[in-house]
Structure formats: structure tokens, C-alpha cells
Amino acid sequence: MSAVLAASAVALRVLVSADPAAATVASERFDARVAELTQAVAWCEAHADEAGRFEIVLAPGIHTVLGSVQVPVAIPALSIVGRGGARVVGGIVEPKPAWVEADAAVLARVPDEARAHIRAWRLPASALARLAGPVHSGHGVSVAAVHSELMVDGRPLELARWPNEGFAEIGELIDPGSVPRDGWDDVPAARRVKQPDRGGVFVPADRVRPMRWKDEADLWALGFWNWDWSHEQLPIAKVDADTGAVTLARPHTYGLATRGKFFVRNALSELDREGEYWIDRAEGVVYAWLPEHGEAAEAGVTLAGEPLIVLDGVRGASISDIAFSCTRGTVIAARACAGLRIEGCAFSAVGARAVELDGTGNVLARCDFRDIGGTGALLTGGDRPTLRRGDSAIEDCNFRECGRILRSYSPAVVVEGVGNRVSRCAITRHPHIALWFRGNDHLIEASEFSEVVYETGDAGAIYVGRDWTAQGTVIRGNLFHDIRGSDARFQNAVYLDDMSSGITVEDNTFVRCNWGVLVGGGRDNTLRRNTFVACTKAVSWDARGVGWMAKEIEDPASSTLLRTYAAMPVASEPWKSRYPHLGDYLTFDFGRPVRGVFAGNRLVGTPLGSIDDRERVLESGTISELAEGELLEARAAEAVASAEKSVGPRPAIAR
Ligand SMILES: [Ca+2]
């Protein structure tokens, strides 16, 4: 076929199948048949000038990708589509692995009560080089991939840990370690302290427990070491079996505090309950106390650390109807793409961030995210200095149990840039912030947020913080329910933190939340026509810019707010017209929450809460209804049911 014939109507199709005779695709016409996705992409690239469209069809079954599949820019209008339950995995997946009795020497290191339950799976030699242990990760320590995990029957098991649930307490703090945070550039120079790195030393409240760990060669501890919103997983350098003292191999960002809490992981000596596993990486053997019927179930071990599919600058591609799972890192990394559509896919048993979608006019639709180690989807696009919109969207997606390993600052959904949208999504069971946005003019609508912010404090289901210029986002018509917590821990549904400004929160329903909305001192914020039912309080609207935070907006050299303000062309077009008040932030009522609007909100069995600066935040049209006990419960159930009719996601997910 010559290039002359390459009309856009012509499509070339490639089948990826280890078994080309697979029944469901046998009747379809294909221009080529290959065994692996990388070969299909290479075939399309080689024939790129022969057609206007390309389609790669993945046959039913398991397709293994251990290095990244790079989608070349040269392939026009490429669709990668799965048929009949096609799966792409970044590890070893066996329908029924050969579990055998564990080696006696290994069993000797396992607690007595667990010994009879432990089974062993020897991995193929080819897997050894890709097995990975725990990595340094946490708040402010982003990672591309985590440790190798065992997946049984589609769900990840737990790397052997202590305690089995929750966290252990620090009994005695011997040395908090160095405090890297004190040396950061946003600390005023006079107060800035840089110290050499020094790991903290502590004795757990259970002083006897560390005796078990004396033979562990690669022991790690994940803790909220100081603040309950900042987790970090750190390597353990030394365990003193006599005193119980644990020495960390590196400092925690904020230094250790006695209020800190932690658990240890990767300890064969703590493999003591169903659902836990440990991997001998040198020998390539997995040891597990399998769940009931687990021995007969499919099992997998995550291996790939690189994104499974990478698209860089690709236009008009699509990926659909594929179930992705069993990988240590990211599944799809799309950078500077345009018109990319990811649709009807499932993502599960993923170690770090599942999807990165950057560029313009991209869409992630009807996808299901479950058991994701970090963020489910990161959506970026648009240009802040010019306010050019990204016009990308996440629609009709489910996010469950994201932030499974990276437990703070790995929101289920992150939206950045300008002019992007989240519509009809559901986010549930997330330990910290469910949706974080940065930048301008986003729309977050018709989505449901429930049972989030359950492990961490000072957080909201939706969060934005510390940037006066991140204006124009509208949070509209969402349902927030069962987001409990305490006043002391500042847990809330919508958190406009640290002077966030120019945000509109309207027509939302808040049911059984701790605080509905926390407005942290910002300007030009509007809360209108929201309904609050059975919440601890509707709003906490403070004036921190003339309170505790005043010192943080004094010094242009170190203040994050002053620096981000100076970085945007707020006095030029299109900013000047788009945000007409932004120009007066440093000169008019500096630090006060000016032009705040709290209008037409309905409070059912919910106190208003607090508005600190009544001269600058105007309340009007509030309707308060008293309700308590069974009546309040009924009103809450009614409000959830009513709101659920208008929030997503709607369509079923293809699996
Ligand atoms: Ca355990």
C-alpha cells in the first residue's frame, strides 16, 4: 500500500494474542497478529504512513508488560482496545501457582502460631532481578513505584507487619533525629536551621516486641511520626534487642515526637495472620498465610516499576476496555497528549499512582480504581500565566481504597492547571484528602465523597491551599457524607486552607460530616445554597491572615503566599479581567477574609459554626431547621437518597 492511499478512512488492525485462534476474535479481520503489545506498537509505527487510523486489539486473557510500552507519536489515531476481559499486568500472574510447604529454616523464624499456615511459592528465576523491597516514601517524598506485592484473587495482601491493625505507640523518645523541615527555604532566614541528617531513636510502648526483629535484614517503619497529616516510611538501621531501642536510618521531615505512631513492615518474624506475606528476594520465594481458598486462586507478584504504557505528545489516541493490575508503579503515564481518551478500564492492585493524564482535551471516563497504592488519577493541563484552559475531564469514575500504601498527600484524584473538570465520580474509603486541586477555573461537580479523611487530621475531602491566585474553581452539586472526625483534628468535607481565595462552593449536600466547609482566612470565597444535615457544624470561616498566619505573609523572601502571588501576572490581562479583585490583595484590608459570601444555605440539625470577621464575610438567607434523634437520622437518610439521584457515576464498568 502506498502513502498516497493513506486516507483517514483506512484503518489497520493488529491482534495481540499468544493464541491467535482465540474464539472471540477469530472471526475478525486483522492486518497482523503478534504475541505482545510492544510488537503491536512497533508494527503500527512501521506502517504509520499507510493508514489514517490504527487499532490494536488485545485478545482475552493476560498480557504481561514488564518494561514500558512507549506509544510513538507517529502512529495516527491509535486505539488500544481489549476484548472479552483482556488484562494487562505488570508482574507474574499465575492462574494456580504451585504453593508448597515452606522451608524448615524459614518456618523457624515465623511465630509458632502461624507456622502451620505458611505456604511457599518459588517464583521463576527471571523474576528475581525485578523484585523490590520497601522504599523511602511519604508526604513530600514522591515515588514512582513501591515494593513487590503479593496479589491473591485480584486483591493485594499485606506485607508482614506489626501491629496487624492500626499503629503502635512510641513509649520513650530517645532522640527525635534531625528536623529537615527547619531548613527549608520557606522558613525565614533568621529561623532557618540546617542540620546533618540523623535518624530518630525511640522505644516502642511495647518494649519487648523489638526482640523479635533482631534477625530482620530489611525492616521498615511507616509512621505518622509527629503530625497526624504527615506519614513517612523509613528504613530501620538498628534494633537493640536488649533495650528495645529502634534507630531509624534517616530523619523524619518534622522530627519524631512522642505523640507519633507507627507500624513496622517487611518482617518475617511478624508473619502471624491470614492475609500477610513476606518475600525472600534473594531466593525468589514468597511466603504467605493465604486467605481461605487462596491456594486454589489466581496469584500474582508485582514487578514492573516503570509505567506500563507511556504516551508522550500523542494526539487522538484511545485506550479502552482493559483491566490493568499487578504492578509496582504507574499504569498509564500520558504527558503533553491531546484528545486522549481512556475509557471503560479497570485499575487494581497498583502500587503507586495509577494514571497520569497531562495535556489538552483528554478524558478519563467510566473507569474503576480499586486498591491503588497512591493517587488514582492525576489530571493536569492548561497554562496558568495565560489562563489557557486544559479542557480535560474525569467522568463517571469510581475510586475505592486508593492511598493504600502512600497514606497522606496521595489524593484519589488530583487536578492541576487551568480549566479541567471532574464530573459524576465517586470516591470512598480514602485515608486522607480525596481530591486535591491546584490552579484555576476547574469544575468539580455531581460527585460523591464518603468515608474519606478517616486516618489523618487537618484535611478535607476536597482540598486546596496556600495560593491566593488559585482562583475560579467551582465545587457544585456534590454529595459529601459520612466524613466524620473531630474538631481537634480539623477534619472536614471542603477545605479552602491557608488563605485560598476566589472559590465557589454551591448547591452541595453535606450529611453526617464533621465540619462542612473550612474557609481558612481567604478572600472572595462564596458558599451558597448548600444543605448541611447532621453535621457537627456547617462552616468554620476564620480570619487567620490577621491571626496566627499573619507572620507567614510578612516576608516576601520566604512566604509561599507572597511568592506564588508574585509569580502570576495578576495585574495584566487576562488575569485582570478574569479576577478583578486579585489586584487589591496586598493593599486593601491585608490579610482579612474580604468579600466573603455565605448566602442561602440550609442547616438541618446542624449549627452554623463560626464566622470570625462578620464585617467582611456577609451571611444572608440562612435557613435553620431543628432536628435531632430519629427525625434527624431520617432527614439525613432522605438527603443522601435525594442527592444520590443527581450524582454519579452512572454506567457500569466493563471488566
Ligand atoms: Ca503481622
Distance 275 CA to ligand 1 centre (A): 9
538-567 mean pLDDT: 96
In 3D space, the residue among 427, 616, 452, 607 whose CA is nearest the CA of residue 525 turns out to be 616
Cα three-residue angle 530-535-539, rounded to 5 degrees: 55
- Residue partners of 148: CB distance under 8 A and separation at least 6: 91, 130, 131, 132, 133, 279, 281, 301, 302, 303, 328
DSSP 167-221: -EEEEEEEE----GGGGSTTS-GGG---------EEEESSSSGGGGGGG-SS-EE
Distance 304 CA to ligand 1 centre (A): 26
Distance 485 CA to ligand 1 centre (A): 27
Distance 629 CA to ligand 1 centre (A): 41
Judge whether residue 651 has pLDDT over 60.
no
Q: What φ, ψ does residue 649 adopt, rounded to 5°? A: -85, 155
Distance 561 CA to ligand 1 centre (A): 44
Distance 167 CA to ligand 1 centre (A): 12
C-alpha grid cell for residue 296? Answer: 486454589
Distance 79 CA to ligand 1 centre (A): 44
Distance 274 CA to ligand 1 centre (A): 9
- Predicted pLDDT at 186: 86
pLDDT in tens, 105-148: 999 999 999 999 999 999 999 999 999 999 999 999 999 999 99
Distance 262 CA to ligand 1 centre (A): 14
User: pTM for the full model?
Assistant: 0.96
C-alpha grid cell for residue 222? Answer: 511507616
Cα three-residue angle 585-588-591, rounded to 5 degrees: 60
Distance 127 CA to ligand 1 centre (A): 25
Collapsing DSSP to helix, strand or coil, 100 comes out as strand
542-563 mean pLDDT: 95
Distance 111 CA to ligand 1 centre (A): 9
Distance 93 CA to ligand 1 centre (A): 25
- Dihedral class, residue 546 (left if φ above 0, else alpha if ψ from -120 to 50, else beta): alpha
Which ranges constitute the DSSP H helices of 326-426?
none
Distance 566 CA to ligand 1 centre (A): 51
C-alpha grid cell for residue 11? Answer: 484503518
pLDDT in tens, 598-632: 999 999 999 999 999 999 999 999 999 999 999 99
- Predicted pLDDT at 8: 59
Judge whether residue 216 has pLDDT over 60.
yes
Distance 211 CA to ligand 1 centre (A): 15
Distance 151 CA to ligand 1 centre (A): 17
In 3D space, the residue among 433, 323, 329, 380 whose CA is nearest the CA of residue 654 turns out to be 323
Distance 267 CA to ligand 1 centre (A): 8
Cα three-residue angle 236-241-247, rounded to 5 degrees: 25
Distance 369 CA to ligand 1 centre (A): 27
Distance 98 CA to ligand 1 centre (A): 24
Distance 129 CA to ligand 1 centre (A): 26
444-464 mean pLDDT: 95
Query: For all residues of the chain together, what is the average pLDDT?
Result: 95
